[in-house]
Amino acid sequence: MTSRAQSASLEDKIYGCQRINNSEAASLFDWRLTALGRAADFRRRAVVPEQHVGFILDRIINFTNVCRAECAFCAYHARAGRVAAYRLSTDDICARVQELAEAGGTQVMLQGGLDPEYGLNDYLEMVKAVKTRFPDIWLHSFSPAEIVHMAEQSGKSIDAVIMALKDAGLDSVPGASDLLVDRIRDKVSPRKLSAAQWCDVMEGLHAHGMKSSATMTYGMGETIAERMEHLDTVRRVQDRTGIIQAFIPWSFSPAQTRMPDISAADGIDYLKTVAISRIYLDNVEHIQAGWLTEGLKPAQIALAMGADDMGGVLMEETVVKATGVRRTAHMEQFIDLIRNTGRAAVQRDSQYRIIKRF
């Protein structure tokens, strides 16, 4: 079969809403951006037919930057003489949640480094304190890496840790994935959880009826085939569990990390990654545009490349900011940006239910 015929066959599969395989998805990186965008937007409309774009008013509270993982791709963790260590008290955390509640926010993401001084009880008390004072705030918090850390610190199973967190009041867990390729993980984050452990956490969340998400940090020296390996892992986990509500790809920011020689991925690569994610992840309903790492304009274009959600209007964020990337946005910017794409802006909750239309 000629390459032209193969392309036509793949196009038929995409527009026929059929599942494509890894090699077919990899070949999409060679498509013209306009053709790829049209195909991804078609698949978006097949899954999310409403002509609106969602966002949520939330706050990321990074409660400690002490981290035993010390990943090479991270500029956030405490380093002697360069980045000062900190740990927020429960009162500090609750004060930040109070500010979110007063601003009409609905979701809090508690996230921190893998701090050796934090045991499972510390995390449980943190959750209980927030939920006791703010029962209507949705806690979409921690990460698979933090859950594995809690299990190792406490000597308990992943399942037992998830059950304890849920009983304490945790609502859902962001499925921060980095890159689910052990060759890359062994190089850039050897002290962090493995790809298999990430899957174990997702299975555990499923067993306890909790939702999650998945991310992909690309541009860390991986091959296109390895990006497909990551997407394949996400798709297989979603086939088994159905708990992944959204997928969020973002590019690696090398500044201030221990990987400064890697060139940052460009905007075309980002847009193609968004589009291919929409087409390949046929079982994930929402694709978020990563405005925090990519900027508002590329995120706006991503809405024509298969994305249907802008994620959070963040009141606070320090991990990406540590790389020198400093971007802010407010609700009015989001609304105008979305309207300028010809779609309606809606504020949503953590379960993607519409709270308000604009």
Known binding site for (3R)-3-methyl-D-ornithine: residues? 143
| Tokens representing residue 73 in the block | 């791709």
For residue 244, give the DSSP letter: E
- Residue 140 pairs in a beta bridge with 172
Q: At what angle do helices 90-102 and 120-133 cross, to 10 degrees?
A: 30
**From CA 138, how far away is CA 172, in angstroms rounded?**
8
Strands 309-312 and 286-287: unpaired
**From CA 329, how far away is CA 238, in angstroms rounded?**
31
Binding residues for S-adenosyl-L-methionine: 73
Binding residues for [4Fe-4S] cluster: 67, 71, 74
Residue 242: phi, psi to the nearest 5?
70, 15
Q: At CA 64, angle to CA 62 and CA 69, rounded to 5? A: 105
Residue 138: phi, psi to the nearest 5?
-85, 125
| Tokens representing residue 153 in the block | 């610190």
Instruction: Tell me how far CA of residue 45 lies from CA of 19, 56, 133, 338, in angstroms.
Output: 16, 21, 40, 16
- Residue 55 pairs in a beta bridge with 347
Binding residues: 67, 71, 73-74, 143
Q: What is the dihedral of CA 122, 123, 125, 131, to 10 degrees?
A: 160
